[in-house]
């Protein structure tokens, strides 16, 4: 696979109106590229931060067996209505991945909930509670991926799509780089693929990174 991709930041499926103000999805095109590169028919694919279900919808369309976990009940309920196998989409908290009834998987892809260095809310409760700061956020990401590593098959790969964040006051959170550093403690970092987004991305950027990890 090349170390860069150029994609359009557009979706094949419109979200219901109630979610349109909060469209945090990545694109079907991105998921298609990575499933095409790293998986085959019948492989088990997992998304620990399922959101509106993009990973699972594309995986099912490509005849993969797709599982995911989502914290927010309303998003999970919506995903239930768009999957062929809704029972594989779990409503839950990925910080407790080890205790969930999930098969071992061949591949994982996700975009995590973002956090800026100075943000107060906890991303892992969908920002509904006060968090314990950026250091704790990175530590929790590491703990989630430590659990995810245990469920990854020996030849499996895990991909995290993420960007750095430019803030309005001119400061920056090097979120993508910090996540790469932190997750490298529990999975083997294999490098980044830069994705340039034709129509822009967000957070002051028009590119993001897909961080590729192998089982530790
Ligand atoms: C960036 S969004 C993922 C969007 C997804 N890639 C899509 O295309 O729809 C991150 C998701 O993680 C969910 N989330 C946050 N904390 C979680 C947790 N502890 N366990 C499971 N999901 C969580 C959020 O509610 C949010 O929907």
CA nearest 153: which of 39, 70, 10?
39
User: CA angle, corner 189, sides to 156 and 209, nearest 5?
Assistant: 100
Per-residue pLDDT tens digits for 19-59 = 999 999 999 999 999 999 999 999 999 999 999 999 999 99
Query: How far away, in angstroms, is 123 Cα from ligand 1 center?
Result: 9
Q: Is the pLDDT of residue 1 over 90?
A: no
Which atom number of ligand 1 is nearest to the Cα of residue 25? 8
Kindly tell me if the per-residue pLDDT of 149 is higher than 90: yes
- What residue owns the CA closest to ligand 1's atom 13? 49
Q: Which atom of ligand 1 is nearest to the CA of 110?
A: 6
CB 162 within 8 A of CB 212: no
Atom of ligand 1 nearest to the CA of 124: 16
Ligand 1 centroid–CA 208 distance in Å is 17
Provide the pLDDT for residue 40.
98
- Alpha carbons within 13 angstroms on the beta-carbon side of residue 84 total 11
What share of the chain in percent tops pLDDT 90?
A: 99
CA 182/CA 185 separation, integer angstroms? 6
The closest of 87, 92, 76 to 124, measured between CA atoms, is: 92
Point out the ligand 1 atom lying closest to the alpha carbon of residue 54. Answer: 8
* The predicted structure's pLDDT at residue 185: 98
Domains in the chain: ranges and CATH? 4-214 (3.40.50.150)
Atom of ligand 1 minimally distant from the CA of 26:
8
CA distance 143 to 40: 28
Residues contacting ligand 1 via CB (< 6 Å): 24-26, 49, 51-52, 54, 69-72, 75, 93-95, 111, 113, 123-124, 126
Q: Tell me which of 20, 28, 68, 70 to substitute to probe ligand 1's pocket, judged by most ligand atoms within 8 Å of the beta carbon.
A: 70
Nearest CA, atom 18, ligand 1: 93
Pair type for strands 188-197 and 4-7: parallel
Which residue, by CA, sits nearest to atom 26 of ligand 1? Answer: 51
For range 4-10, the mean pLDDT? 96
Residue nearest atom 16 in ligand 1 by C-alpha distance: 124
Q: Per residue in 68-91, pLDDT tens?
A: 999 999 999 999 999 999 999 999
């Amino acid at each position: 696979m090349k170390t860069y991709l150029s994609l359009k930041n557009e979706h094949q499926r419109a979200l219901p109106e109630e979610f349109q103000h909060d469209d945090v999805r990545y694109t079907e095109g991105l998921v298609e590229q990575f499933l095409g590169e790293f998986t085959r028919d019948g492989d088990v694919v997992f998304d620990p931060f399922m959101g509106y279900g993009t990973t699972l919808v594309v995986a099912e369309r490509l005849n993969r067996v797709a599982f995911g976990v989502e914290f927010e009940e309303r998003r999970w309920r919506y995903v239930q209505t768009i999957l062929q196998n809704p029972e594989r989409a779990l409503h839950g908290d990925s910080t407790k991945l080890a205790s969930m009834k999930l098969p071992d998987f061949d591949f994982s892809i996700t975009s995590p909930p973002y956090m800026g260095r100075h943000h107060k809310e906890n991303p892992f409760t969908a920002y509904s509670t006060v968090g314990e700061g950026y250091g704790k956020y990175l530590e929790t990401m590491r703990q989630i991926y430590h659990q995810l590593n245990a469920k990854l098959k020996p030849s499996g790969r895990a991909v995290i799509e993420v960007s750095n964040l430019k803030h309005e006051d001119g400061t920056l959170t090097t979120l993508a780089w910090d996540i790469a550093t932190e997750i490298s403690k529990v999975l083997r970092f294999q490098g980044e693929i830069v994705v340039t987004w034709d129509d822009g991305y967000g957070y002051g950027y028009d590119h993001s990174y897909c961080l590729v990890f192998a089982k530790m």
